[in-house]
Amino acid sequence: MPANLPPEYFEAERRFREAGSPAEKVAALKELIATVPKHKGTDKLRADLRRKLSRLKEEARKRKKTARTDLYTVEREGAAQLALVGFPNSGKSSLLGSLTKARPVIADYPISTVMPLSGMMPFEDIQFQLVDLPPIGNESTDGWVSGILRNADGLLIVLDLTEDPEVQAELILEQLSRWRMPLRGLEGGDRGKKGVVLAANKIDRPGSEEALERLREGFGDRFPLAAVSALRGDGLPELREMIFRVSEIIRVYTKEPGKEPDLDQPFILPSGSTVLRLAEMIHKDFTKKMKYTCLWGSSKFPGQRVQKDYILRDRDIVEFHL
């Protein structure tokens, strides 16, 4: 990193990392470039940022053009994207409304959801994107619904405890298998598969406890299962935790030498990521200029020096020395 960067640069860099859409990133990157002082030591940095700005402008242009013609594309946001899967009246839309600030159409008649609708679910210091979709098994929508499911990071299967939830789960899993979607349950470990969480909804209804027990007997040893009530809010904290765990991501924070860590905006990395991967995410020059790294969190002692291949853990704090 070039010397003599002002505090405004690091603040602008944080806003750039937080930006969501390509258009927002373009605006944030322009602000970031404006904070870089013009001298020989920053020539390479300014050139890198200008190249990045050019790529983002092109991406924003393409996204804008695509948005006019493709109504069934959900732009990815947040730490991970999970799509809601279920049959009519399972409570998918109600659950989306309870977990996020989205306002879906909620009705007693089937297929009230006709277009994809996303909302951001807060979890501690990050957010997950949840996407509500029409119920599966509808020939008019299954084509594009399966496409969104295939592109999502994970699936939240919503089951109605008042309507034989174990049968619903079996039918949904059979359909996902026909679509050749590899799923990851409690065994974990394979990032090539999609993480799955089962949300057993309507736990507030009469007879739901017996139905929940049947569901647990059939699927409790295969997938994380949360008993919830979208109406009353029962079980939602546990469901949020399961969504975080099944996404298999970690939050890593950074700090400058002699300063407090920046705990407002973590870097999001896949589980198993190394110090080197974090450095590459921050700036490609870090990998060349990095002298050593200190770690707080999973290290044996605070501020321990670690190697580039050190595997990071959730909530680690990393201090780079250049």
List residues bridging with 119 in a β-sheet: 130
pLDDT at 120: 95
Rg (CA), the chain: 22
The rounded distance, in Å, linking the Cα atoms of 239 and 158 is 11
The rounded distance, in Å, linking the Cα atoms of 253 and 263 is 6
3-state secondary structure of 279: helix
The rounded distance, in Å, linking the Cα atoms of 263 and 315 is 9
For the chain, the residue count is 322
Quick one: CA torsion of 90, 91, 93, 94, rounded to 10 degrees? 180
pLDDT at 69: 42
Residue 201: which H helix or E strand, with range?
strand 194-201
Q: Give the other-Cβ count within 10 Å of 144's Cβ.
A: 17
pLDDT at 18: 73
Mean pLDDT by 10 residues, the chain (322 residues): 70 78 78 82 81 81 56 84 94 94 63 76 95 85 88 96 96 95 81 92 96 96 96 96 95 92 90 94 80 93 94 96 84
Residue 68: which H helix or E strand, with range?
helix 43-69
Picking from 235, 238, 96, the residue whose alpha carbon sits closest to that of residue 161 is 235
pLDDT at 210: 96
The rounded distance, in Å, linking the Cα atoms of 239 and 199 is 7
Q: Confirm if 202 and 155 have CB atoms less than 8 A apart.
A: no
φ, ψ at 265 (rounded to 5°): -140, 95
pLDDT at 63: 66
